[in-house]
Amino acid sequence: MSLDTHYPLNLPANALPLRVLIVEDDPMMQLGLEQSLMAHPQLEIVGQAEDGYLGVQAALQLKPDLVVMDIGLPRLDGIAATQQIKAALPATHVVMLTSHQTETEIIAALSSGADAYCIKGASVERLLSAIAAAVDGAAYLDPQIARRVIDNLKPPSPTSNNANLSGRELEVLKLMVDGLSNPEIAEKLYLSPNTIKTHVRGIMNKLAVDDRVQAAVVALRSGLV
């Protein structure tokens, strides 16, 4: 795993590093995650756990800012562990790693309350994008996961809300589906982050959804992107 240590997490320069708990049962994957994330100056690894039960215990004890959570864990899977962590520590961000083997697993992951969903084994840069989105208060859905979800849903059926999106909102929506965080979208469209946040709120209101993950699903189902 390689890591660009200058990859932005959009934290204030004087902010304390994000305290990260890694929950992963594969020793090699755990080591790779630890080494890669430790290389980033805005991240601090405060603990590791090899199953979901120990992951919940560690989270309750350490109260990390962020949990990187595998789905396929012994004793207690990552979906159930995430639900317990988010119920007890709603301010803790959870980035879920999935091998997206089945549509059932993906749907369960989407309903677990995690803030971001990444393909297991993806580049560290993709994982950092997910972390950045979660920290920014947004939800991140890996494009591969989003498209697998759509395969399990009914055929596209445009809704009356979809036609209300402006051209700029459609641009922003496409980049949201591609997994870009608000600051990344702002940079790509040469707009301010606050302007992008306004567009994202407008998109979610018009599509009648609560978060970016739902917006991505609606966009793909409706053929908007």
First to last CA, the chain: 31
Q: Is the pLDDT of residue 35 over 50?
A: yes
Dihedral of the alpha carbons of 109, 115, 120, 121, in degrees to the nearest 10: 170
Q: What is the share, in percent, of the chain residues with pLDDT greater than 90?
A: 28
Confidence grade of residue 223 (pLDDT, cut at 50, 70, 90): confident
Q: What is the pLDDT of residue 110?
A: 67
CA distances from 10 to 46, 58, 101, 173, 221 (A): 21, 27, 32, 21, 31
* Residue bearing the bigger pLDDT, 208 or 122: 208
Q: Is the pLDDT of residue 190 over 70?
A: yes
Task: Give the SS3 label for residue 99.
Answer: coil
| Residue ranges of domains in the chain, CATH in brackets | 18-153 (3.40.50.2300), 167-222 (1.10.10.10)
Which of 130-144, 158-172, 196-210 is most confident? 196-210
Q: Is the pLDDT of residue 224 over 70?
A: yes
Helical ranges in the chain per DSSP H: 27-38, 52-62, 78-88, 103-110, 124-135, 143-151, 167-177, 182-189, 193-207, 212-221
Query: Which tokens in the block code for residue 167?
Result: 């051209």
* Residue bearing the bigger pLDDT, 67 or 38: 67
| Phi, psi angles (nearest 5°) of residue 218 | -60, -40
Could you tell me if 166 and 198 are in contact, meaning their C-beta atoms sit under 8 angstroms apart? no
For the full predicted model, state whether its pTM sits above 0.75. Answer: no
Mean pLDDT of the chain: 80
Q: What is the pLDDT of residue 3?
A: 34
Segment 79-108, tens digit of pLDDT: 899 999 999 999 999 998 877 556 666 667
